[in-house]
Each structure stands twice: as C-alpha cells, then as structure tokens.
C-alpha cells in the first residue's frame, strides 16, 4: 500500500515495520535539481536520518512506523500521508489473564461515527475498506501494536498484561480511547523505566536491600511477594491490586538486588560510600541515591550515598535510630527562602521516586508517608511562595531573633554598576604569585603558545609543584578559560612540562588520564599530534568499547557478586592494572589514557587504583552533580594533580561551581550547606533592584576565596590570537551597534497573526500565557509557523511574508558579496527544514546542511553523517557558504572557524548559550574578524517580542573576576508589554512588573495617596537612597521601593531612604519637613524591620497595606510607562 502522486514528489509504501519514502533513482541522485516541494520532503527525511530515526535507501528512506505515527500535522501533509484519524477506540476486556478465555475486543468509530469491528490495521494506518485510510496517532498506534504482539506471541500472561497496559496508557495519553475493564478497573499495571534501591536497617545493624520499581505498594508489601521473581519464568510481580511488568534488563536489575540483599554491619559504611561494589550500576539506578529506613523509624528516609558533612552525623548510628519524623505539614517552620523550597521539593520528588516515606533535611526527619497530603502541602507552599513570599505574617517562618541580631545596619552604600567591570588587582596578584618562574623550552612544539596560554602553563606548573610538596594540601585547580581560548593546548603543554620536570628530578613518569565526552575523545588524540614534534607520551590509549577497551579489560562492569551466605564485598578490578600484568597493563609509565565519564564510572575501582600523574577533566560540567556516580568516581581518583577544565564553571546554579571546586580541591569551600548559607542565600533573598549587585558582591567574595586555584580569562580581555568581534543589531539604544538592515517591522499577514495572538492572550486572561509567548516567538520568525501549519514551499512568496526573513536575505547578500561563510542559529525545526531548502535554492547552494540538537555526535552507521563530517563539508567549500545550527547543538566540541559570520535568527533564552554558539566561530584559530548579527522584528505600536528579548539579553553582561550564575532571560508571560495600555494594575499584575516598573508604581501610589502636585523618579545611577520624590504643599515625600519574590529583611531599604533625606532637602528645601516611605510587595518583613522604621520615622507599606493602597488608587500600565519616560531628578 502506498501513494502515487502525479508530480515527482516522494512516494511512500508500507513495508514490515517501516514506511518507505522513495523517488525514482534517476531523480534521487539529482535531488538538488528537484522542485521546492521535493527538497522540503528530502530535508525533513534527512533530518530524521541524522537523528537516527530513519535509514537511508539507495533512492529514499525507511522510517519506523512509530516515528511516522508521531509526525506532526505539517510533516504528515508535506509527505502526502493520509489524514490523522480522529476516531474513538472502545476496548472491552473479559476474563482473567491466567485463563484461556481471556479476550480483548476492540471496536473503533468509523468515518461515519458508528462503532465497528470492520477495520484493518496496516502499519501506522487504520483502514476502512480499500479507500478510507487514516494515520494513527502515537497512543493509538501503541494499542494496535500491543494487539498485534498479543496475537503473535500467543496467550502468555505477559503478553496479555502488556496488552492491557498499552490500552491503559493510551487512555491516559489520548482522549480517543475508552474501555470497559470489568474487574481490571481496580488493577494498576506498572512498567518501571528504572530500578532503584531502598534500604532497611535490621536491629543487628545489617542492611536489607529492597528494589524500588516505581510501584505504589509499600516496601513491606513488596518484601512479602519478592519470592515470585525467583521462578525462572517470572516476568511480572503481583502486589495486591498492582502488577509490575519487567523487561529482561529491569528483571535483571531486581534480581541483582535480591541476590545481594544483606549488607553485614561491618560493611555498612563501605556500602554507603561505594555502592557499586555491591550493585551493578549499569542495571540499578544509583544516581538518584536511595531510600534508607532507620531502625525504630516507621517510614523511609531519602538519602544520598556518600553524602557527608563536617557534622559527622551517621545515618545509621544510635542518634539516627531514635529520630522521630515530623509531619511534613509543619514544613513552614523551616522553609524560609526559595533555595530551601527548591531543595526540599527535589528531595521529596526523589524520595517518592524511590519509594521513601521520609526524608531528611537539616538533620531532621520529615514524614511523607501520606503521598497525597505531602504533595498538597508542597503545592500550597509553592503557591504561597509565588503569591505571598513564604509566609502570611511575621510569626510564621520569620527570621529568628538570633539571626536578626546578627544583621548589621548599612549606611548609605553607593552601588555603582560601572565598578562591576573593573578588574580585581588582588586576584591578579594572587595568580602571579603561583606562576612557575623557570625557563620553558618550546622547541618540541609544532606551534608557539599565545601569551595567555603560556600564562596558563606557568600557572598549572606552579600549582603542580605546590601539590607535590607533601606539606601543601593543593591537589588540583579549576581551569575555566572562556571557550575557544585553547584550553586543550594549554593542558597538553602543562602535562609536557610536568613530565620534563619529572625527568629532571628522576621521578617516575606516571600515566596521564584525560576524561572527556565521547564526542571529544578523537579530538584529544588528534590534538597531541598537532601539538608536539615528538609526543611526550609513551603511547596513547583510547579506553572505549569501540576502541582499545578490550585490550585492557579482563572482566565486565566492576561489580561484586557475593553469595547470600558471605556478603564480604571486595572491589572487583576488571581492568589490567598493576605490575602483575607486565607490558599488558593499562597503567604503563608515561602513557596517555583518554576515556569518557561513563567509562570512568563503570570501571571506577580499577581507575581509582592507578596512581595517575595528571588527570584532566574536559567539559567538566559533566561532573557538576555531586550525587552522580561519575562525579563520585572523579573525586575518588588518585593523582598528583587534577585539572578541572570547563568554559562554563557555573551553568545553572552556584552548586555547579561548588561541586567542581570540591573535585579539584576537596573541602576548600566547606560543605554545600555552609557554601549555600554563605554565598547563595544572600542572593536569593535580595530585592529585585539588589540582585545584580548582590550577585556581583558575593561572586567576587567567592572568586577571592578560591584565589589562584581558579584561572579564568574571557575573550573580552583582549587576548592575543583573537580577531576583532563586531556586534550588530536591528535595535537602537543598545550595547550593540545599530544596523538599519537588521531592523524590520511586522506588516501584512504576519502583523495580523501577531495581533490575533495578543488579543487571544487578553481574552483568555493569561490562561495560556506561556504558549502564547512561544507562538509570538514563532510568528516573529514566520506567520506560518503559528499552529500546525507549514511554510509555503514557494520560496519567493513565503520569504516575503516574514519581515525578519527579508532582513536575513539582506545580510546574507552582504556576506556573499564578501565571499565569506555564515552560520545561522535558530531552534525551530520547521524553519530549519524550510530554510535548508529556501536558502539553498535562493543562493544556488543545493540543500543547506542543518545541525540541530538531535544530530549525532558519533556515527552509528556509515550512512549517518555526524556533526564533524557536516562541518568538514561546509568548510571545505571555497568561498561563500551557509550552514544552519541550533544553539543547543553548539555547546560541546564544535569548532567552525571556517565561518566568520554569525546570525542569531532565533535567540536562546540563556545568554550563556548564545555566547557558546558564537564561540563556535570566535575562538583561537579564527583568521578573520567575526561579525555577529541579530535581526529584530518590531511591532508598529507595541514593544515586540524580539525587542523585549533583545533588551533583556543586552542587560546581562559578564562580570569579570566574579563567580556568577548565568540567568535565562525569558520575556515573562509575565511581562506587561503585551497588555493593553489601559490595563489597571492589580496585585496579580504587580508580580509581572520589573523592579524599575515597580519603583514607578510606588511613586505613583504615594503621589495619589498624598495628593502630590509634583512627583518624580530619581536618577537611574546613584539615587542616594531614594527611588522617587513627591511634593505635596510644603512637605517632601521620599520613596524607597523594593520588588521582591519572597521574604525581605527591609533593613537596608529603611537605612537607604533615611540617608537620602539631607541630599534631597538641599535640592527641594521643604519648609514643612520630610516624610519617608518604604514600600514593598513583600508579604513578610522581619519584626525588627518595623521597629527600625519607627526609630527612623519611616512609614512601611507592605503586604496587606500595599494591596489595599493599590486597590484604593487606580493606576494603569500607561501611567507607569509615562512616568518612566519623564525626566528624572538628579541630586
């Protein structure tokens, strides 16, 4: 069965398990000469091939049935597949799975709407007669696939259960499936996607391990039924009204835990520290941690193996055995800030996943055995956090009296944003002190180092020499240079000179280990050849399954198989390590071993047994999670020196940085709780206008703390070896250079669609705000991307429909005129596919290659192109060329210095991700100046999506000599830019304001409250402590405003407005005195804040008082915007 289109577009036919899309061979070999429709079809299928979801044929592609069933409407239409089926499935299940009379009768609704048994399933199609054929959806396809397997496999109980499970899942995922289950209504079938571990402490101190299967049953119920799995034919487990189904892998994981259920008391500490000695980590998911039940406690405790802090508290000591869990409903006693709430939420989610009924926080147990009540309490806390700020009054969740006493008053601090860019002389001095001062002979190098690279080598050597001094605790460092500055070369050069020193001092040349992502293993090996005339290494071993692993492996994954009679666990060493293996050993002197983080995890005992010289962790963000097994393994390696390298030392949170530094220099930053209290909490508890300053302040404190143990230079440091970088944008008044060709205005059909989306959001009362934001983003690219539509394949006509794409063509024309290459970054896969065809046709390039987030880094078959091979082809072409990339795909291991132009057509929310994308081009090895372009589509009346996003991203600048968290900048569904100007500000809208807009709101509220004749916002720079001034009669009113998302102490705000009095009295000379206000949307201020306000004669308007004032005085969005545009008072 297939289609027979009249034109030369792809035909399709059904074959076993796949749908084959094909062209005549003579047409397929000349694909670049075909129509735009055919090219779009080819591009869509080719992307599936690169994602590993299709296979190449001599004249087309095979696509698996389940992939075709998951096609969206646009792909279905493009490839001429039948319409999606919108009918109903009714399943009638009778009998017991143990009985022969068990049956499932499935009726479906026909095209006329009537239920019928007369239909046929053919691959991903449902057919009613010979002419009426429809494409199944993914959920419906699962049902009929299960039906087919049931018929093929016969009447086994497993096939029956999987059939029922498929029907249940389809019912949950799709509204099209209803069923009559009879007695199966009370039956829940679970198919676990991972197996975890819960542990129970026996009264004798031993541990009992129980598998966690994502089941609802309690561990006690589970333990009574585990014997079912000892039968050879067992593939399921019945616990009450629940059945757990296993595939071979998950069954092996459960049996692995059952075989090793008892951990003797003397082995408990070792088990907690090294669980992979006892359990196969490739089967059992240990990265989540495990649930631990303490003797004397009725519930399960969520814990993380190997986690200890300086308190020395033992999980299974006598102190634990008497701990009594508190009900989680009392959580508001200890959740005081967003960080704590996030941490507790993560612990609860992990606990539920692993079957725990208790979790530990701050050395206390909390009972979560009532899952529904716990989740309800957690939901309530999140709602309160969002709406009120973690409490409703001063008495609940307030800062303790002791904490309040420790807060110091601050006098008139001038927060000057410009100082954030000043280099820290103290850091530079500290770095200079550790540099290796001796001569370095570079004759054996094929290339000379740049100045900053030689500095890095001297830095590394200096720290290595300190590490080799037994009286010094330095064991490693964080090498965090920006991407593209040649960290690979610097690390190899450091290793070379370290070896030279070893030779001079007649020390053994210990082996070197490099741990990197899979996609970079070959790159490291190639770099050795590019760097040295004669390699400093005796040889190079790529320790990977498809490379040289088999030469050095004599066993499987390193686990211990111990009989139940003897649970004495000794590490299993599966690699050939040690002198006993002679020349066949892995740890030969002077050898370079290159491996992945996964291999390190799986063979950690052998790897940790080796006495390494240097260990280099490349792209070390792979070990930023302190609970991941590969992180544990990394921390356990023995080495003279560990160099932790990453261009992004902080990806998501400061916890990333703590973990990396704890790997390089254990203990330097204390326990994570100490670290969080010192560096994280002060930032998360800041007001909106304080966050940037606090982030910089504590970031610098952290940078100073790590001192010379971190080296970080950025491209903004004007380093040798880098060309110039020019930034162009289609928006005026930004930090980018304005370029008129990049500015366009929405018009015609695109403007109509955009405005309809705005109106839809208003009418829906923000019910689908996030979805609307994404649709506005899509519409700004092309109106046909909204909804499930396809962009018209007619290149000329469809390009004209988008103002932004018209700008794109103008810029590409200029690049083509210079005979240069360009990368176009965008995320939308529909647009990637369309532009692959449209730009290729427009510029006669053939199909433009696409690298998105799904393109494989390593080829699994010879047919599949990898990222590297696509880039090589792109760069090999002489002169002008284009390539399309997703910024998500541009993070690791891609170097494209053949291009020197970057167009961010669709921007990433995270400025760090966008910078990483640009760094694919702007890096060491780039010979031409780099141009970065940002097209901006404007709205003729309102602030457009593009303008809003560009403005927000431009505010996020890199702080030098500070450790800061890169923020994702999402135009909030939140923001007010999409609301009508006449919208009245309500408490709900206040949450959507920026802190600058909140300051304007506060001034307007005070002005209306006092009947002011004049009112102003103060200077954006140094405002001397007042955000606004209002004059009523002869009285001056000064306003300090704080827009917060949670609790706030208020001390600094009161001090600031008080200190502003004299400055503004000189300016306005009020004869009747001055009234001071501190206004905030915070729902909680500490008690002593109000006492301080009384002492300083400051009126506090917060919480309910603020909302009442807001309700009493009508203020519209337009009022805020007009006040922001007016002139400001400068004192």
Is residue 255 a contact partner of residue 593, using CB atoms and an 8 Å limit?
no
Q: How confident is residue 977, by pLDDT bands cut at 50, 70 and 90?
A: low
Q: Answer with the residue of higher pLDDT: 367 or 590.
A: 590
pLDDT for 502 equals 94
Q: How confident is residue 1026, by pLDDT bands cut at 50, 70 and 90?
A: very high
Does residue 473 surpass a pLDDT of 70?
no
- Two tokens, residue 521: 């293993």
| Residue whose C-alpha is closest to residue 489's, from 543, 529, 544 | 529
Q: Answer with the residue of higher pLDDT: 1078 or 288.
A: 1078
pLDDT for 392 equals 33
Is residue 81 a contact partner of residue 41, using CB atoms and an 8 Å limit?
no
Does residue 228 surpass a pLDDT of 90?
no
Tell me the mean pLDDT in the region 991-1020: 91
Question: pLDDT tens across 786-796, in order?
Answer: 876 666 656 66
Give the pairing type, strands 1035-1042 and 1028-1032: antiparallel
Tell me the mean pLDDT in the region 246-252: 85
| Residue whose C-alpha is closest to residue 109's, from 130, 132, 80 | 132
- Two tokens, residue 235: 């593939």
Strands in 67-171 per DSSP E:
89-94, 103-109, 115-116, 120-122, 125-128, 132-135
Let me know how long the chain is: 1131
Tell me the mean pLDDT in the region 43-65: 90
How many CB atoms sit inside 10 A of residue 991's CB? Answer: 15
Does residue 972 surpass a pLDDT of 50?
no
Does residue 565 surpass a pLDDT of 60?
no
Q: What's the mean pLDDT when you consider all of the chain?
A: 80
Strands in 635-769 per DSSP E:
638-645, 710-711, 725-729, 737-738, 743-745
Does residue 597 surpass a pLDDT of 90?
yes
> Which range has the top average pLDDT, 373-387, 623-637, 975-989?
623-637
816 three-class SS: helix
Q: How confident is residue 920, by pLDDT bands cut at 50, 70 and 90?
A: confident
**DSSP at 972:** -
Question: Can 437-541+589-649 and 725-954 be said to share one CATH topology?
Answer: yes
Going by C-beta distance under 8 Å and a sequence separation of 6 or more, which residues neighbour residue 242? 187, 188, 189, 190, 215, 216, 217
pLDDT for 409 equals 23
Superfamily name with CATH number, domain 437-541+589-649: Tandem AAA-ATPase domain (3.40.50.10810)
Does residue 277 surpass a pLDDT of 80?
no
Weakest-pLDDT range from 135-139, 767-771, 890-894: 767-771
Give the pairing type, strands 11-15 and 18-22: antiparallel
pTM to 2 decimals?
Answer: 0.67
Q: Answer with the residue of higher pLDDT: 374 or 593.
A: 593
pLDDT for 793 equals 56
Q: How far apart are CA 847 and CA 39, in angstroms?
A: 7
Question: pLDDT tens across 730-777, in order?
Answer: 988 667 899 999 999 999 999 999 988 887 766 655 445 567 778 889
Is residue 542 a contact partner of residue 515, using CB atoms and an 8 Å limit?
no
Q: How confident is residue 951, by pLDDT bands cut at 50, 70 and 90?
A: confident
Q: How far apart are CA 109 and CA 175, in angstroms?
A: 13
**DSSP at 818:** T
Is residue 237 a contact partner of residue 243, using CB atoms and an 8 Å limit?
yes
Residues of the chain with pLDDT > 70: what percent?
78
Tell me the mean pLDDT in the region 691-700: 81
- Residue for token pair 């290494």: 537
CATH of domain 987-1125: 3.40.1350.10
How many CB atoms sit inside 10 A of residue 614's CB? Answer: 24
Q: What are the sequence ranges of the domains in the chain?
A: 11-78, 89-186, 191-404, 437-541+589-649, 725-954, 987-1125
> Which range has the top average pLDDT, 313-317, 556-560, 741-745, 994-998?
741-745
- Residue for token pair 């039924």: 225
- Two tokens, residue 53: 């979801």
Q: Answer with the residue of higher pLDDT: 109 or 861.
A: 109
CA triplet 652, 375, 215: central angle to 5 degrees? 95
**DSSP at 48:** H
Residues of the chain with pLDDT > 90: what percent?
33
Does residue 106 surpass a pLDDT of 90?
no
Tell me the mean pLDDT in the region 492-512: 95
Residue 1125, phi then psi, degrees to nearest 5: -80, -20
DSSP string computed for 332-370: GGT--SHHHHHHHHHHHHHHHHTT-SEEEETTEEEE--S
Q: How far apart are CA 573 and CA 576, in angstroms?
A: 8
Does residue 981 surpass a pLDDT of 60?
yes
Does residue 278 surpass a pLDDT of 70?
yes
> Which range has the top average pLDDT, 269-278, 766-775, 1047-1056, 1103-1112?
1103-1112
Tell me the mean pLDDT in the region 243-247: 86
Q: How far apart are CA 1034 and CA 1019, in angstroms?
A: 22
Give the pairing type, strands 540-543 and 326-327: unpaired
Does residue 431 surpass a pLDDT of 80?
no
Tally of CA atoms within 13 A in the half-sphere of 983 that contains its CB: 21
Weakest-pLDDT range from 204-208, 340-344, 473-477: 340-344
- Two tokens, residue 1048: 């706030």
Going by C-beta distance under 8 Å and a sequence separation of 6 or more, which residues neighbour residue 563? none
Q: How far apart are CA 1082 and CA 337, in angstroms?
A: 12
Largest CA distance in the chain: 99
| Residue whose C-alpha is closest to residue 136's, from 177, 95, 192 | 177
Decide if domain 725-954 falls under CATH 3.40.50.300. Answer: yes
418 three-class SS: helix
Between the two ends of the chain, the Cα-to-Cα distance in Å is 81
Does residue 298 surpass a pLDDT of 60?
no
Does residue 1120 surpass a pLDDT of 80?
yes
Q: Answer with the residue of higher pLDDT: 1013 or 371.
A: 1013
Q: How far apart are CA 381 and CA 392, in angstroms?
A: 11
> Which range has the top average pLDDT, 94-108, 371-385, 403-417, 802-816?
802-816
Question: pLDDT tens across 606-618, in order?
Answer: 898 899 999 999 9
| Residue whose C-alpha is closest to residue 1053's, from 695, 677, 688, 697 | 688
pLDDT for 971 equals 46
Give the CA distances from residue 1002 to residues 730, 857, 1041, in Å, rounded to whole numbers and listed in that order. Answer: 33, 53, 6
pLDDT for 1024 equals 87
Burial annotation 277-287 (CB, 10 A radius, 16+ → b, else e)? bbbbbbbbbbb
Determine which helix (DSSP H) or strand (DSSP E) holds 54, and give its type and residue range: strand 54-57
List helix spans (H) across 19-96.
Answer: 25-28, 36-50, 65-69, 73-78
Give the CA distances from residue 767 to residues 384, 532, 762, 764, 1012, in Å, rounded to whole numbers and listed in that order. Answer: 19, 61, 9, 5, 38
Tell me the mean pLDDT in the region 214-228: 77
Does residue 187 surpass a pLDDT of 50?
yes
| Residue whose C-alpha is closest to residue 482's, from 950, 966, 969, 968 | 966
pLDDT for 1 equals 59
CA triplet 418, 422, 428: central angle to 5 degrees? 165
Weakest-pLDDT range from 107-116, 760-769, 1095-1104: 760-769
pLDDT for 390 equals 37
pLDDT for 212 equals 83
Q: Answer with the residue of higher pLDDT: 916 or 180.
A: 916
- Two tokens, residue 986: 């309500």
Does residue 302 surpass a pLDDT of 50?
no
pLDDT for 859 equals 45
Q: How far apart are CA 841 and CA 40, in angstroms?
A: 11
Weakest-pLDDT range from 15-19, 425-429, 535-539: 425-429
- Two tokens, residue 276: 């992979």
Q: How far apart are CA 974 and CA 990, in angstroms?
A: 10
């Amino acid at each position: 069965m297939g289609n027979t289109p009249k034109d030369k577009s792809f035909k399709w036919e059904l074959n076993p398990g796949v749908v084959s899309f094909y062209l005549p061979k003579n047409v397929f070999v000349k694909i670049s000469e075909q129509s735009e429709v055919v090219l779009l079809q080819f591009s869509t299928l080719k992307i599936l091939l690169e994602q590993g979801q299709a296979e190449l044929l001599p004249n087309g592609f095979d696509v698996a049935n389940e992939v075709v069933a998951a096609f969206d409407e646009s792909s279905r239409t493009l490839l001429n597949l039948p319409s999606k089926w919108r009918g109903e499935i009714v399943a009638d299940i009778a009998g017991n799975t143990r009985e022969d009379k068990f049956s499932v009768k499935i009726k479906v609704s026909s095209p006329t709407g009537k239920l019928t048994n007369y239909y046929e399933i053919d691959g991903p199609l449902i057919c009613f007669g010979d002419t009426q054929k429809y494409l199944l959806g993914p959920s419906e396809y699962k049902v009929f696939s299960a039906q087919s397997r049931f018929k093929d496999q016969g009447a086994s109980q497993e096939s029956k259960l999987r059939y029922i499970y498929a029907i249940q899942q389809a019912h949950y995922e799709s509204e099209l499936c209803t069923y009559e289950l009879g007695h199966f209504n009370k039956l829940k079938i679970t198919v676990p996607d991972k197996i975890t571990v819960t542990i129970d402490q026996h009264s004798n101190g031993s541990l009992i391990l129980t598998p966690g299967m994502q089941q609802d049953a309690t561990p006690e119920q589970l333990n009574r039924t585990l014997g079912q799995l000892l039968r050879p034919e067992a593939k399921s487990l019945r616990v009450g009204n629940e059945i757990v189904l296993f595939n071979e892998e998950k069954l092996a994981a459960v049996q692995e835990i059952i075989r090793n259920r008892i951990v003797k008391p003397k082995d408990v500490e070792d088990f907690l520290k090294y669980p992979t000695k006892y359990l196969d980590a490739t089967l059992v998911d240990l990265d989540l941690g495990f649930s631990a039940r303490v003797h004397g406690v009725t519930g399960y405790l969520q814990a993380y193996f190997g986690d200890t802090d300086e308190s020395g508290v033992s999980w299974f000591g006598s102190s634990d055995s008497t701990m009594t869990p508190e009900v989680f409903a009392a959580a508001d006693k200890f959740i005081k800030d967003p960080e704590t709430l996030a941490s507790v939420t993560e612990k609860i989610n992990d606990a539920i996943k692993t079957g725990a009924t208790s979790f530990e926080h701050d050395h206390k147990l909390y009972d979560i055995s009532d899952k529904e009540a716990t989740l309800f309490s957690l939901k309530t806390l999140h709602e309160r956090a969002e709406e009120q700020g973690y409490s409703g009054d001063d008495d609940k969740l307030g800062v303790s009296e002791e904490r309040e006493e420790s807060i110091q008053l601050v006098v008139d601090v001038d927060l000057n944003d410009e100082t954030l860019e000043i280099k820290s002389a103290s850091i530079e001095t500290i770095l200079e002190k550790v540099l290796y001062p001796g001569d370095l002979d570079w004759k054996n190098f094929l290339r000379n180092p740049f100045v900053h690279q030689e500095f890095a080598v001297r830095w590394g050597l200096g720290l290595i020499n300190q590490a080799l001094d037994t009286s010094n605790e330095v064991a490693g460092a964080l090498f965090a240079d920006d991407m593209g500055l040649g960290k690979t070369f610097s690390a190899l050069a450091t290793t070379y000179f370290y070896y030279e020193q070893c030779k001079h001092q007649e020390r053994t040349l210990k082996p070197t280990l490099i741990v990197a992502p899979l996609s970079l293993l070959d790159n490291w090996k190639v770099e050795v050849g590019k760097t040295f005339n004669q390699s400093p290494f005796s040889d190079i071993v790529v320790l990977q399954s498809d490379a040289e692993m088999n030469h050095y492996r004599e066993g499987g994954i390193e686990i211990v198989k111990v009989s139940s009679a003897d649970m004495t666990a000794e590490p299993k060493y599966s690699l050939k390590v040690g002198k006993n293996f002679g020349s066949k050993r892995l740890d030969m002197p002077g050898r370079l071993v290159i491996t992945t983080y996964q291999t390190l995890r799986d063979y950690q005992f052998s790897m940790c047994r080796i006495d390494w010289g240097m260990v280099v962790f490349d792209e070390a963000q792979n070990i930023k999670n302190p609970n991941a097994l590969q992180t544990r393994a990394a921390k356990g390696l023995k080495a003279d020196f560990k160099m932790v390298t990453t261009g992004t030392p902080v990806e998501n949170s400061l916890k990333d940085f703590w973990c990396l530094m704890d790997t390089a220099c254990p203990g330097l930053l204390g326990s994570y709780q100490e670290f969080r209290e010192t560096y994280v909490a002060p930032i998360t508890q800041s007001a909106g206008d304080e966050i940037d300053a606090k982030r910089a302040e504590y970031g610098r404190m952290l940078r100073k703390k790590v001192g010379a143990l971190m080296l970080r230079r950025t491209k903004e440091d004007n380093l040798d070896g880098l060309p110039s970088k020019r930034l162009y944008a289609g928006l005026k008044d930004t930090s980018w250079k304005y370029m008129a060709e990049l500015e366009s205005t929405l018009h015609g059909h695109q403007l109509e669609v955009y405005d309809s989306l705005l109106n839809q959001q208003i009418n829906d009362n923000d019910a689908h705000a996030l979805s609307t934001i994404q649709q506005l983003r899509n519409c700004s690219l092309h109106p046909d991307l909204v909804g499930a539509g396809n962009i018209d394949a007619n290149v000329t006509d469809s390009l004209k429909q988008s103002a932004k794409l018209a700008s794109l063509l103008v810029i590409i024309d200029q690049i083509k005129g210079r005979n240069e290459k360009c990368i176009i970054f965008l995320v939308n896969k529909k647009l990637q596919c369309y532009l692959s065809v449209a730009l290729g046709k427009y510029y006669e390039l053939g199909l433009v290659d696409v690298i998105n987030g799904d393109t494989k880094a390593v080829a699994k078959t010879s047919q599949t192109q990898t990222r590297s091979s696509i880039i090589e082809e792109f760069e090999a072409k002489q002169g002008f060329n284009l390539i399309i990339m997703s910024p998500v795909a541009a993070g690791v291991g891609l170097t494209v210095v053949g291009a020197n132009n970057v167009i961010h057509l669709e921007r990433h929310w995270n400025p760090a991700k966008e910078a990483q994308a640009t760094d694919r081009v702007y890096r060491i090895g780039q010979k031409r100046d780099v141009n970065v372009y940002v097209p901006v589509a404007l709205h003729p009346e309102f602030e457009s999506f593009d303008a809003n996003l560009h403005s927000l991203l431009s505010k996020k600048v890199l702080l030098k000599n500070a450790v800061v968290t890169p923020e994702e900048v999402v135009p909030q569904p939140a923001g007010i830019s999409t609301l009508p100007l006449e919208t009245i500000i309500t408490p709900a809208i206040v949450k959507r304001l920026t802190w600058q807009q909140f300051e304007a709101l506060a001034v307007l509220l005070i002005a209306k409250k006092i009947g002011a004749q004049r009112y102003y916002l103060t200077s954006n720079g140094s405002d001397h402590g007042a955000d606004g001034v209002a004059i009523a009669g002869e009285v001056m009113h000064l306003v300090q405003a704080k827009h917060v998302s949670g609790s706030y102490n208020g001390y600094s705000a009161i001090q600031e407005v008080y200190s502003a009095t004299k400055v503004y009295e000189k300016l306005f000379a009020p004869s009747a005195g001055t009234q001071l206000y501190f206004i905030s949307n915070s729902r909680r201020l500490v008690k002593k804040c109000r006492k301080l306000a009384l002492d300083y004669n400051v009126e506090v308007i917060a919480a309910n008082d603020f909302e009442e004032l807001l309700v009493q005085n009508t203020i519209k969005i337009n009022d805020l915007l007009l006040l922001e545009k007016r002139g400001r008072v400068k004192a």
